[in-house]
Amino acid sequence: MSVELRVGGKWRLGRKIGSGSFGDIYLGTNVYTGEEVAIKLESTKTRHPQLSYESKIYRYLGTNPATGQPAVGIPQVHWYGTEGDFNILAMQLLGPSLEDLFNFCHRRFSLKTVLMLADQMIQRIEYVHSRSFIHRDIKPDNFLMGLRRDSSVVFLIDFGLAKKYRDPRTLVHIPYRENKNLTGTARYASINTHLGIEQCRRDDLESLGYVLMYFNRGSLPWQGLKAATKKQKYEKISERKICTPVDILCRGFPSEFATYLNYCRSLRFEDKPDYNYLRRLFRDLYRRKGYQDDNAFDWTLMRKAALEAPTGATMESGVAAMPADDTGSCGANRADVGENYAGKQELELDTPEDIAVPVRYLTRPDTAYGRPAPPTTAAPLPYSEPPPAPSPR
């Protein structure tokens, strides 16, 4: 006789669909409506709990104050609470991560797919920044595709390392600081982050630039470096990244990618990025290439071809056919063992301290890196059931 496990009074706990750095993720089903959600469990005995902090950020970001509607590309929280020995977060179930899809597409995306993704990813980062937070762990694993009518929408997840970069009321920016520990994933970290400089908006966007080139190239020049310790590995990654000119990194690809990275690296600490300019770079390139606005991502075409073929692998939407590590999760997968922040999570919405593996800060190149900007004069999510899935087109 099986025992049915419920959380929050109405969510039936199903099979495990992922494992995060701080807990496991399960498929949950609303016993009254049949709606499926992702349920993340975290032991109440964990040394550095993060689920409560994460749930607060999701709720804060989940409603766009400009429209009063759910924010596009931010997972919706259904419930958070503590039951027994677990902190529990029930949230919108999502599809595969971009890392999963990258592997599915044989670790290379077409230019069209990269440009479509870039447009949405910049929008997600801009929205988070507009709400006074920076993400600080931009990487393919933390972008997931939606399900059903949201299957073409890119979602940004895993706000365990997110931090306020300004006061939401006064808009006063946090102060410039140095000697900070590396927070995030070393493969995609900005050069300033490697140099120990406090992160700000420019760093999220620079990280995105590395993600886009990862999708273009299939790998980055600083991948696969070996070292005896994590600290030494961080140093090697930093050195290789600093010594790789942007034009070399982007060689063989449209100049817009180098322009994007050079722009991000030119920003000063408190500068507000021109998000529209960055999106226009890629949108204009998209139009010049004659691509259609059809949301035909590489994996969509591969799935269609597989379904039409008499034999071969198929890719079902949802949790069934893709790796489950990031399906409906709050950041269950990690891109590189040993390259990721593994220290204390931030527990307050107020700016906390960072704790991570200390790194040796390299001598700064004679560029804009690390130069503080001149002082500037800075001027509960309501729950609603998502609409039913549309009929097949």
Dist CA 294 CA 112 (whole Å)? 11
Both 211 and 228 in one domain: the answer is: yes
Dist CA 307 CA 319 (whole Å)? 17
Both 152 and 18 in one domain: the answer is: no
Q: Torsions phi, psi of 92, nearest 5?
A: -55, 130
Both 88 and 156 in one domain: the answer is: no
Q: pTM of the predicted model, to two decimals?
A: 0.80
Q: What is the pLDDT of residues 98-115, one digit of tens each?
A: 999 999 999 999 999 999
What element of type H or E holds 262?
helix 255-266
Average pLDDT of the chain?
A: 83
Of the three residues 302, 323, 345, the one that is the final residue of a domain is 302
Q: Is 294 a catalytic residue?
A: no
Q: What is the pLDDT of residues 244-258, one digit of tens each?
A: 999 999 999 999 999
Q: What is the pLDDT of residues 355-374, one digit of tens each?
A: 233 332 232 232 333 333 33
Both 133 and 52 in one domain: the answer is: no
**pLDDT for 203 beyond 90:** yes
Average pLDDT of 180-205? 98
Both 128 and 259 in one domain: the answer is: yes
Both 88 and 195 in one domain: the answer is: no
Confidence at residue 367, expressed as pLDDT on a 0 to 100 scale: 31
Both 85 and 158 in one domain: the answer is: no
What element of type H or E holds 17?
strand 11-20
CA atoms within 13 A on the CB side of 316: 5
Q: Is 236 annotated as a binding residue?
A: no
pLDDT band at 344 (very low <50, low <70, confident <90, very high): very low
The CATH number assigned to the domain holding 215 equals 1.10.510.10
Dist CA 355 CA 203 (whole Å)? 18
Q: Which residues of 147-168 are buried (b: 16+ CB within 10 A; e: fewer)?
A: beebeebbbbbbbbbbbbbbee
In a domain? residue 5: no
Average pLDDT of 259-273? 99
Confidence at residue 176, expressed as pLDDT on a 0 to 100 scale: 98
Work out the number of other CB atoms within 10 angstroms of the CB of residue 212. Answer: 24
In a domain? residue 308: no
Q: Which two tokens stand for residue 118?
A: 């870039």
Dist CA 130 CA 111 (whole Å)? 28
In a domain? residue 270: yes
In a domain? residue 59: yes
Closest CA to 99 of 44, 160, 46, 144: 144
Both 47 and 116 in one domain: the answer is: no
**Helices and strands in the chain: count of H runs, count of E runs:** 10, 12
Both 107 and 243 in one domain: the answer is: yes
DSSP 161-217: T-EESB-TTT-PBPPP--SPPP-SBGGG--HHHHTTPPP-HHHHHHHHHHHHHHHHH
**pLDDT for 188 beyond 80:** yes
Both 275 and 232 in one domain: the answer is: yes
Q: Which domain holds residue 46?
A: 13-27+36-92
**pLDDT for 66 beyond 60:** yes
The CATH number assigned to the domain holding 65 equals 3.30.200.20
Dist CA 345 CA 178 (whole Å)? 20
Which residue among the candidates 24, 85, 119, 137 is catalytic per the annotation? 137
- Residue indicated by tokens 């494992």: 19
**pLDDT for 326 beyond 90:** no
Of the three residues 248, 272, 302, the one that is the final residue of a domain is 302
The total domain count for the chain is 2
Confidence at residue 96, expressed as pLDDT on a 0 to 100 scale: 95
Both 147 and 274 in one domain: the answer is: yes
Average pLDDT of 330-346? 36
pLDDT band at 93 (very low <50, low <70, confident <90, very high): very high
pLDDT band at 340 (very low <50, low <70, confident <90, very high): very low
Both 143 and 275 in one domain: the answer is: yes
User: What is the percent of the chain where pLDDT is above 90?
Assistant: 71
In a domain? residue 376: no
Confidence at residue 19, expressed as pLDDT on a 0 to 100 scale: 78
